[in-house]
Structure 1
Amino acid sequence: MELYFWLAACGTLAGVTTVLFGFGGGFVVVPLLYQALTHLRGPEAQTASHAMQIAVATSTCVMIFGSAMATAKHQRAGSLDWTAIKPLLVSIAIGSALGAATAVAVQGNWLRWAFVVYVGLTIVDCWLRPGFLSQPAQAARPARARTAWVGVAIGWVAALLGVGGSVMTVPLLRRRGASMTGATAMASPLSLPVALAGTATYVVLSWGGMTNLGRGYVGYVDLRAFLALVSGSYVGIRLATPYIGRIPDQVHARVYVGLLIAVEVSMLLG
């Protein structure tokens, strides 16, 4: 029981980062659940060998709630640009289904190191490549065909690693001239198709072989952890909503990178 109180408390942090930085479902929940399943429950537990798949699948399910609620908050705040969002929605959903299917098929340890490598590359890209830490001039939007392929790639990576679309969409939109408030706001509705398509795929493909995990699981989704995290996320989203658009742009960008570094360290130590 103590574990689920801890998950709810950390879910509050996930809710705050979902609203203010466009991520939280994955970059907070995946390392947290991975640590809980491998250390707090012990390596001999049946869940330990599937720890990364459970963490990713549960994270993707939590994103349904977090991204939907954050989208509603940003819509009320007037920070969403639907002309930039709509062309990506369908292709991201397709990529998410492919990413979830890939995650089910690979070994959990491989998935963990893929997460570590991807977050590391994102940190280096945001820090060193021009256009993220300071806002660039507005650039032209990519052609629709290219946008569709970008959406598939975003969805595949997001569902494969359980991180939502923010880690790719925020830098992409940032370099196309969006402020951090605008870029992180648009990450929320773009994470919703990832969450819906990814969760459905995880449940369908893992349902038959997961009976050995015990009660409280639907495929790889840990329902008790899901409820604890959603409860905490609700509180975090409510707490963070008044600060939408109030963080200075460059501070916002630097804190975003700092949070990614904290996640990377957590997974490396695990």
Structure 2
Amino acid sequence: MDLLALLGIGVLTGLTTVVFGFGGGFVAVPVVLWTDRALGPDALRVATATSAAVMVVNAGFATAVTPRPVLAALRGSRTLIALLAAGGALGALAARYAPAGPVRWAFVAYVALTLADLLLRPGFLRPHARADDEAGTGLPAVLRAPIGAVAAFLGVGGSVMTVPAMRRAGHTMRTATALANPLTLALALPAAAVSLLGSAGPAGGSLAGTVDPRAAGALLLGALPVIAVLRRRPPRIGDRVHAWAYATLLAAAIAAMLVPGTA
């Protein structure tokens, strides 16, 4: 995949960061997996590590330009953030040693189960009516570290679980996706650190740890301007349409991982 194509995908990751709170993980993993397919079994490990690095920058920048009143909903969430970070580090460590095949199918299963939950269980497509300042995060304490671990292990960021949880707690999609960025940053930062310090393997000359800097740089070059523009002028999307679009993007991520040639 040439630089121009990676830049174009980077634009898409910027869009998903702002509109869906993904930080780019769902888009980055299939793309980097395809880009680095010549690495064979190491390609998925590199894809998840590179995704974590991209998410750190995307989610960090998106958080920095998010209005302070929106971020105020996370006050008192230090324990939540610490548990997500601890889980992120553990998940990244596990990903370094896991075989590629099971991780790939775990990615598909994880997203597919989430999609089924969104469509079949009430509270996401039509959330409970509750004021945002009273809604909280909706994340049970017992799930916080596991969310970080699973998200970092698969390179997808935590938004696939944090957005639905905050949605069911009563937040609008716009607020839930905005709050997903600082939570994604909390788990992606230690995951990226573990990846950058990891063994580069046989392709060490072109990697930083297990991160592909060329792919990460191209994706970020496309993403960051989009994040800056959309945070200043967020798109006007109806709440229910926004929720359905989120579910549709999960379906697209599953399809991308099932395309022949990404194995």
Same fold, judged at TM 0.5 (above): yes
Distance in 2 (CA, whole Å) between partners of 1:239 and 1:85 is 28
Give the corresponding residue for 1:3.
2
Contact 1:203-1:219 at 8 Å conserved across structures: yes
CA drift at 1:134: 0.9
Give the corresponding residue for 2:92.
100
Which amino acid is 2:70 matched to? S
Residue of structure 2 aligned with 1:163, choices 156, 161, 166: 156
Distance in 1 (CA, whole Å) between partners of 2:242 and 2:138 is 29
Which amino acid is 2:86 matched to? I
Contact 2:138-2:165 at 8 Å conserved across structures: no
2:28 matched to 1:49? no
Distance in 1 (CA, whole Å) between partners of 2:108 and 2:9 is 20
Give the corresponding residue for 2:13.
14
Contact 1:66-1:233 at 8 Å conserved across structures: yes
2:190 matched to 1:197? yes
Distance in 2 (CA, whole Å) between partners of 1:151 and 1:69 is 23
Change (3 A) 1:127 1:84: farther
Distance in 1 (CA, whole Å) between partners of 2:78 and 2:175 is 15
CA drift at 1:184: 0.4
Change (3 A) 1:137 1:86: farther
Residue of structure 1 aligned with 2:126, choices 109, 113, 134: 134
Which amino acid is 2:183 matched to? L
SS in 1 for 2:65: helix
Give the corresponding residue for 1:225.
215
- Long gaps (5+) in structure 2: none
Contact 1:15-1:234 at 8 Å conserved across structures: yes
Contact 2:10-2:220 at 8 Å conserved across structures: yes
Contact 1:63-1:191 at 8 Å conserved across structures: yes
Q: Between 85-94 and 252-261, report the one with greater CA deviation.
A: 85-94
Q: Between 244-253 and 53-62, report the one with greater CA deviation.
A: 244-253
Residue of structure 2 aligned with 1:124, choices 113, 116, 121: 116
Change (3 A) 1:173 1:142: closer
Which amino acid is 2:162 matched to? T
Which amino acid is 1:20 matched to? V
Give the corresponding residue for 1:63.
55
Residue of structure 1 aligned with 2:237, choices 234, 247, 256: 247
Contact 1:20-1:181 at 8 Å conserved across structures: yes
Distance in 1 (CA, whole Å) between partners of 2:77 and 2:11 is 26
SS in 1 for 2:205: coil
Q: How many residues align?
A: 256
What root-mean-square deviation, in Å, do the aligned CA atoms of Structure 1 and Structure 2 show?
A: 2.1
Give the corresponding residue for 1:111.
103
Change (3 A) 1:25 1:220: same
Which amino acid is 2:116 matched to? V
Contact 1:79-1:181 at 8 Å conserved across structures: no
Residue of structure 2 aligned with 1:180, choices 173, 178, 181: 173
